[in-house]
Amino acid sequence: MDRELVLAMVVLGLGSITPASAAPISATLKKADTREFPGLPIGTFVALPQVVLSATRDDNIYAQRADETEDTIFTLSPSLLLQSDWERHELSVDLGADLDRYQDADSEDVEDFWLGLDGTRELTEQTQVFGGVRHTRDHEDRYVPGAAGPELQREPTRYEHDEAYLGVPARSAACVLRQRRLLQRSHPRRRSHRQC
């Protein structure tokens, strides 16, 4: 038994040794060395998928002084980050979701989504342009300050948010100043209700 354990440890240890003649490591993977998971190479991109499942017990989901309602909220959060593995320019795509499910108060269940695109283009060695766009579908809980409250509002407020930005960094010997312009737009998401 002990010999099998030692043999297994030696095999695992040998598997983690990289020979000196191995292929060179890409620029993005070098940047990602500090992470636990360096990513999956897909063409000229590196994919960083993630799935998080969490549970939260809330003893007062509506933040009421009286008639407190407790519940357990399960949240599934899948996401994917694609980062370019290019020498000069950078491009990344970020998409994901937060899916909340209440154990008892299913009227509070929500699905939030996002999709973003960010990039940097090197015009010269000293001049870059950066920009990005992002679309988010989010929600506001019924118990946040300023909300009508659970007695007047039957479900969380859902809304969509769009933003875009564009900028140019200014470099000096000591620092980098990033000037950017941001365009934002938010609008509530209306639901159509049919009654039969």
Taking only the tens place, the pLDDT of each residue in 78-105 is 999 999 999 999 999 999 999 999 999 9
Q: Which of 13-17, 54-58, 146-150, 185-189 is predicted with the least confidence, judged by mean pLDDT?
A: 13-17
Please report the pLDDT score of residue 12 as a whole number: 35
Q: Answer yes or no: is 1 within a domain.
A: no
Q: Answer yes or no: is 120 within a domain.
A: yes
Total number of domains in the chain = 1
Q: Answer yes or no: is 193 within a domain.
A: no
Report pTM: 0.69
* Structural domain for 42, as ranges: 27-188
Q: Answer yes or no: is 3 within a domain.
A: no
Cα dihedral: 60, 64, 68, 71 (round 10)? -30
Higher pLDDT, 49 or 22: 49
Q: Answer yes or no: is 161 within a domain.
A: yes
Q: Answer yes or no: is 32 within a domain.
A: yes
Q: Answer yes or no: is 19 within a domain.
A: no
Tens-digit pLDDT profile for residues 117-133: 999 999 888 888 999 99
Q: Answer yes or no: is 195 within a domain.
A: no
Q: Which residues of 123-157 are buried (b: 16+ CB within 10 A; e: fewer)?
A: eeeeebebbbebbebbbebbbeeebeebeeeeebb
Please report the pLDDT score of residue 13 as a whole number: 37
